[in-house]
């Protein structure tokens, strides 16, 4: 396995690499990331994993400076998964100018759900992913469904801008108690970690209600919010949306996704569950 730090070297390697599958990450890898790598490995001759903490997708007061940088540990895990290349550029390599003057600007969806609480986040995500696609030139790229809104935005810009990459969604990795795997789970205290699976349980209860024919979406959302707030959570949103467009869901929609973001102590957790009935 090679660890490559420059665009020039990565492009030289790419010339003879054959079919490539790509997994973009910010590092501090966990089992959820490795599941993406395993899926990628089934779809190409070589797997490239990027490790880059992208300043553009962090807002003011967020944890950019504190985000764990664990390149050696990450590389050890990826070597065991048969990854061909770890692309780990520094910030000046990927952003040589002080300011990124040209950005990928997503549509209105970027300002909804998580975007309403993290202004500019999805512009930063779309811009860095676009840059990485241009550098790596993969045939396939794998993204986790945990970041459902991010996945929708990436699928959208790939389609609208005719980017020649197949986007492969991968199911959310979970701990045995249902908590969605996330690098931010390590910020939870012992008591918060014990409480954290409540978010998944509330979404599961909503999903079962929808499957059972309950179409009172606003009531389901409000009930789940009340349960979480009563347990000490600060809820950003709980919403039922159309699973494919992420527009607000209506009673006749057969395929929906239930999305939530909430803070437990200082840690912001997100999760979602799809309900497909077509």
Is residue 144 marked as binding? yes
Is residue 266 marked as binding? no
For the record, the structure tokens of 121 come out as 């986040």
Contact 101, 248 (CB under 8 A): no
CA proximity to 256, closest of 220, 231, 229: 220
Is residue 212 marked as binding? no
The single residue listed with the structure tokens 């991968």 is 170
CA proximity to 124, closest of 49, 62, 35: 62
Is residue 178 marked as binding? no
Is residue 15 marked as binding? no
Please tell me the distance from the alpha carbon of residue 28 to that of residue 25, in angstroms, as a whole number.
9
Is residue 242 marked as binding? no
Is residue 33 marked as binding? yes
Is residue 105 marked as binding? no
Dihedral sign from CA coordinates of 102, 143, 245, 272: negative
CA proximity to 39, closest of 175, 178, 166: 166
CB atoms within 10 A of CB 110: 23
Is residue 32 marked as binding? yes
Residue of 5, 33, 121, 227 with catalytic role:
33
Catalytic site includes residue 33 = yes
Catalytic site positions: 33
- Binding region for ATP: 26-33, 144-147, 173, 181-184
Q: Which residues are annotated as a binding site for beta-alanine?
A: 57
Annotated binding site for (R)-pantoate: 57, 150
Binding-site residue positions = 26-33, 57, 144-147, 150, 173, 181-184
């Amino acid at each position: 396995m090679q660890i490559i730090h420059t665009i020039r070297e990565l492009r030289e390697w790419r010339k003879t690499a054959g079919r490539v599958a790509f997994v973009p990450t910010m590092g501090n890898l966990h089992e959820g990331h490795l599941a993406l790598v395993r899926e990628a490995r089934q779809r190409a001759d070589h797997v490239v994993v990027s490790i880059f903490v992208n300043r553009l997708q962090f807002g003011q007061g967020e944890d950019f400076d504190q985000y764990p940088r664990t390149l050696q540990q990450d590389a050890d895990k990826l070597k065991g998964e048969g990854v061909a290349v770890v692309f780990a550029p520094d910030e000046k390599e990927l952003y040589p100018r002080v300011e990124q003057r040209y950005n990928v600007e997503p549509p209105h969806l970027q300002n909804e759900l998580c975007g309403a609480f993290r202004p500019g986040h999805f512009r930063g995500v779309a811009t860095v992913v676009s840059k990485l696609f241009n550098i790596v030139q993969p045939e396939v790229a794998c993204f986790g469904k945990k970041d459902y809104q991010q996945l929708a935005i990436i699928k959208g810009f790939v389609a609208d801008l005719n980017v020649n990459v197949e986007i492969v969604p991968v199911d959310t990795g979970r701990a045995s108690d249902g908590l969605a795997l996330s690098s931010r789970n390590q910020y939870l205290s012992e008591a918060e970690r014990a409480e954290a699976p409540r978010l998944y349980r509330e979404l599961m209860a909503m999903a079962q209600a929808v499957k059972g024919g309950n179409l009172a979406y606003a009531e389901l959302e409000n009930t789940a919010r009340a349960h979480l707030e009563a347990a000490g959570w600060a809820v950003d949103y709980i919403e039922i949306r159309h699973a494919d467009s992420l527009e607000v869901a209506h009673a006749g929609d057969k395929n929906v996704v239930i999305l939530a973001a909430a803070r437990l102590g200082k840690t912001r957790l997100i999760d979602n569950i799809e309900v497909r009935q077509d």
